[in-house]
Structure 1
Amino acid sequence: MSTITSEIQALGENFRGELIHPGEPTYDEHRKVWNGSIDRRPGLIARCTGVADIRSALAYARRTGGPVAVRGGGHSFPGHSTCDGGILIDLAPLKGIRVDPVRRTARAQAGVLLGELDRETQAFGLATPSGIVTHTGLAGLTLGGGIGWLMRKYGLSIDNLISVDMVTAEGELVIASEDVNADLFWGIRGGGGNFGIVTEFEFRLHPVGPIVYGGLVAWPMEQSPEFMRFYRDWITDVPDELTTAVIHRWLPALPTIPAELHGRPVVAVVVSYAGPVEEGEKVVAPLKAFAPSLLDTCTATPYLALQSMFDPSFPHGRWYYMRACDVGELTDDVIDIAAERGLAIDSPYTAYPIFHLGGAISRVPEDSTAFGGRSSGHTFNFVGATLGPEGFEQQREWVRDSWRAMEPHQSGVYVNFLTDEGTDRIRSAYGASTYDRLTELKRKYDPGNLFHLNQNIPPS
């Protein structure tokens, strides 16, 4: 019996979940991740049902020495949530959610998706800031920061994190909060999965919905330069309740969009107002008055519908490639580049949002969490996409050209929007002092760099 086979047999004796090997009927189903351009084959998939399974899987990984990938929702753009060879520790079965409507808190396990958490919290008219696609994993989104439609009012996901449970590389279960293991709590709020496997999150909740004001307003792409100059001036004094993102893309062929507009290149704004609907209508009125629009879906809408608005544009299995950057402000030069890159889009699946930051994000002290970029004004996210390999290289070049055009104006990058871009880009996501502090934390919690399939911060 080979060493690996005997180790797998030993793991199976102490494992309550499911161990899936190459060649088994469900192997291909469980090795796939959201980004269809990622095609990797783990040596073993361990679908964990609890902390004991995670500890057993990590013990196996330490003994065999292969790579370790950790999967929550599997949404990692560069495919860090899977690996070739080694072991994939799959947290998807961990779906527990407990909402306390009196304390306005929620506890959620690491396999929970954003839409699953929203559905439970909205039953009580509550929400915590999360992302923009409901099938994104809660764990990966949160550990990198967590931008979304509530961020200007209530901050990032990490700004609403109360505590976590985490299994270290050595298999120790630790708690981290402001009062317990405060150094670790600082680091996991933006430092990603570098320090261990977070098994459970506790969040602060806020009154949101169930009906909010939001939607999308779109104009012809040719109006982008004029519109973005208007938008830049308009957002200077909008209230924190309003979070927006400018998007350049072709309108998708969805039932909610008139057929005559399918494939029409547009510049659009997604609107989310975290306050009374009637106030949202007043705040957004100047935007609607900018010029006659091609499409206007802004209205009173269920918060759950707003949260899932982008889902059809980012389904599982498409081939995705992205590059991102932060900018301080929308200068005339930035606007002109943004408009030019929008007009260069030649795929119905390629798009890029420009998220408006500030508000509650910027009022959190820069050094209170590991997240970088609190002083940034906007985040650009260039996403090239195809249905499969055909045309993918062309869209990848559009992304690279767009990123290079914006490079002189960059002020950093959101770590969750990084691909495999090297240490310098990871440093730029955090800044030198935060990166050095994260390195010290890595030495403490994962000195052997077992958790290196991430935006990695080596211990030395």
Structure 2
Amino acid sequence: MTTTITTRESALVSTLRATLRGDVIDRADPRYDEARHVWNGLIDRHPSVIARCADTADVVAAIAAARIHRPPVSIRGGGHQVAGSAVCDDGLVIDLSGMTEVTVDPDTRTARVGPGARWADVNTATQRHGLVTPGGEVSVTGVAGLTLGGGMGVLQRALGLSCDALRSIEIVTADGVVRTASRTEHPHLFWAARGGGRGLGVVTAFEFDLSPLGPEVAMAQVIYPVEEAATVMSAWRDLAPRMPEAVSPEIALWSIPPDPAIPSEMHGAEMVMVVGLYAGPADEGLEVLAPLARLGTPMLDATAVVDYATSQTGPDPLFPAGARYFFKSHFVERFDDDAVAAVLAAGASRPTPQSLVIVRTMGGAISRVGAHESAFAHRGALFNISIDAGWTDPAMDDAAIGWARQGWESLRPHATGGVYVNFAGLDDDADRTSSFGAHAARLDAIVRSYDPDGVLSGAAARP
């Protein structure tokens, strides 16, 4: 068996080296260990070969090699997805991380974004023109993974999800054909790409609509003592959906990080953190955000006018590459007292200071997109509750993952049954019905139609 595998791998590597302009990194390459690692240090997979594509032609060549040799295939964009789906064991990684170009047309208010770009790349390019597209909350997050899974972020009630801002995609499907998918070209493929996650093909470019915002925005950042958690959480729950849609309020049970901007005596203390960014004129935002500082007695109120791009980089150090992560989430339509109590209980039992429970407000622009207009299946939810374990010591793996799973189970009776595909646990936690709801069957049919042999998706093996 070892000889068979080695021979197969050798043939795959040879094909790739004969056809790709970009780097081909096999197990013997001194760059292999660095190249196979992704943001989540919990992921430790060993692919046969990593094909670092220089352009769309390289992607076509990599897929042709996959059709010939039929290895397991994973696709790496920013490499930030929690489940580590960017890398596979004993297979081919189609690595797009070098394709990071972002081109902005301020006249048409559009941006064309490479599949390896991160939101920091997008924000830097678009903010030169005072424009944004709805991204995430951490600037090192990859554009491709976030968008294909839906794309929740700080602008979601104002501008919708990242996938809602998509105008078109360029995608190489399993037959090696380069297609443009939009509302008018290959509309079924475009429907699936907006929230359908991975398995559709290899997206080589995203075209986003842009909206005016920045460079300065008003942002609320308020820290309350953990002793007031029940009062603050209940008050936030009542306030958040009633705030203007220009705000997407969030609340988290966490520990104060060692941030130089925060007094050192507060570092490490358990806290309730309330945040919100106003997607409108900065000079009016502070008044709109003021109620977020009146939910209890703040330990710290850092609400201020800030630079938008800088505000997106602020959380980056709190989620360092190489640390270990496990996230699971629920969508909730009624955040009642029992659900609040379950969130508080999960927060009280956090296994590490880096772990958190965070509640995000939905509705607004998200809910104005028709329930069946995209593959994202959770438009009717008012909140998303995410239980995010973070730690560094491998000896904590079982405890941290167990805490997240237990907290998720405790919230199940209060949830819709849907989960956010980007926060769905590891691959062995994945449930397509939970992730895609009533859209799962249509999504699977579209995947099979473009990849009937399961070259990229394994679709042929699905029932």
* Interval containing the TM-score (normalised by the shorter chain): over 0.9
What residue is the counterpart of 1:203 in the other structure?
208
Q: Can you list the C-alpha shifts for 1:14-56, whole angstroms capped at 9, x where unaligned?
A: 2100011113221111110011011011111100011111111
After superposition, the Cα gap between the structure-2 partners of 1:436 and 1:43, relative to the gap in structure 1 and judged at 3 Å, is same
Distance 1:322 1:65 in 2: 31
Does the 8 Å contact 2:103/2:113 carry over to 1?
yes
Aligned to 1:426: 432
CA RMSD of aligned residues (A): 1.7
Q: Distance in 1 between matches of 2:245 and 2:460?
A: 33
For residues 231-282 of structure 1, give each alpha carbon's deviation from its aligned partner in whole angstroms, at most 9, with x where no partner exists: 1221232111011111111111121221011111011111111011232211
Which deviates more, 443-452 or 41-50? 443-452
**1:318 counterpart = 2:323:** yes
Question: Identity over aligned residues, as a percent?
Answer: 38
Give the residue type in structure 2 aligned to 1:93. Answer: G
Q: Who is 1:249 aligned against? A: 254
Give structure 2 stretches of 5+ with no counterpart. 1-5
Say if 2:83 and 2:427, in contact at 8 Å, map to a contact too: no
Counting only pairs closer than 5 Å after superposition, residues 64-213 of structure 1 correspond to structure 2 as 64-213=69-218
Q: Determine the structure 2 residue equivalent to 1:29.
A: 34
Distance 1:4 1:358, change over 3 A: same
After TM superposition, give the deviation of residue 459 of structure 1 in Å.
5.0
The SS at the match of 1:166 is: strand
Q: Say whether the 8 Å CA contact 2:47–2:88 is kept in structure 1.
A: yes
Please report how far the alpha carbon of residue 330 of structure 1 lies from its aligned counterpart in structure 2 after TM superposition.
Answer: 1.6
Mean alpha-carbon deviation: is it higher for 2-11 or for 381-390?
2-11
Q: Which moved more, 1:232-241 or 1:6-15?
A: 6-15
Change (3 A) 1:341 1:419: closer
Query: 1:457 deviation in Å?
Result: 9.5
Which of 283, 286, 293 pairs up with 1:288?
A: 293
The structure 1 residue matched to 2:270, chosen from 262, 265, 270, is: 265
For 1:22 and 1:101, the matched residues in 2 are separated by: 44
Determine the structure 1 residue equivalent to 2:219: 214
Moved more, 421-430 or 356-365: 421-430
Q: CA deviation at 1:338?
A: 1.0
Partner of 1:63: 68
Are the counterparts in 1 of residues 326 and 426 from structure 2 also a CA contact under 8 Å?
no
SS in 1 for 2:372: helix
Match of 1:368 among 365, 368, 373: 373
Partners of 1:458 and 1:261 lie apart in 2 by 53
Deviation at 1:423, TM superposition (A): 8.6
Q: Does 1:416 align with 2:460?
A: no
The alpha-carbon deviation at position 307 of structure 1 amounts to 1.1
Output the amino acid matched with 2:446.
Answer: L
C-alpha deviation, 1:424, in angstroms: 7.6
Superimposed CA distance per residue, residues 363-418 of structure 1 (whole angstroms, 9 cap, x where no aligned partner): 11000001011000111111111113032221112111211110101111111111
- Matched residues in 2 for 1:280 and 1:300: separation? 8
Please give the per-residue CA displacement for 1:65-94, whole angstroms capped at 9, x wherever unaligned: 211010001112121110111111100111
1:343 aligns with 2:344: no
**Equivalent AA in structure 2 for residue 48 of structure 1:** C
Q: Is residue 170–residue 206 contact of structure 2 (8 Å, CA) maintained in 1?
A: yes
- Structure 1 residue 292, shift from structure 2 partner: 2.3
Contact 1:114 1:131 in 2 (8 A): yes
Matched, 1:393 2:398: yes
Aligned length: 457
Q: Is the 8 A contact 2:169 2:182 kept in 1?
A: yes
> C-alpha separation between the residues in 2 aligned to 1:290 and 1:246?
11
* 2 and 335 in structure 1: CA distance in 2 versus 1, 3 angstrom threshold: closer
TM-fit CA distance, 1:214: 0.6
Partner of 2:232: 227
Flag the 1:221–1:77 CA change in 2: closer, same or farther, 3 A: same
In the alignment, which of 328, 334, 338 is matched to residue 333 of structure 2?
Answer: 328
- Aligned partner of residue 367 in structure 1, secondary structure: coil
Q: Distance in 1 between matches of 2:313 and 2:137?
A: 7
Q: Does the CA contact (< 8 Å) of 1:217 and 1:268 recur in 2?
A: yes
Q: How far apart are the structure 1 equivalents of 2:411 and 2:12?
A: 50
Contact 1:126 1:209 in 2 (8 A): yes
- Please say if residues 189 and 371 of structure 1, whose CA atoms lie closer than 8 Å, have aligned partners that are also in contact: yes
Look up the SS of the partner of 2:368 in the other structure. coil
Deviation at 1:286, TM superposition (A): 2.0
Conservation of the 8 A alpha-carbon contact between 1:245 and 1:271: yes
Task: Give, in angstroms, the shift of residue 329 of structure 1.
Answer: 2.4
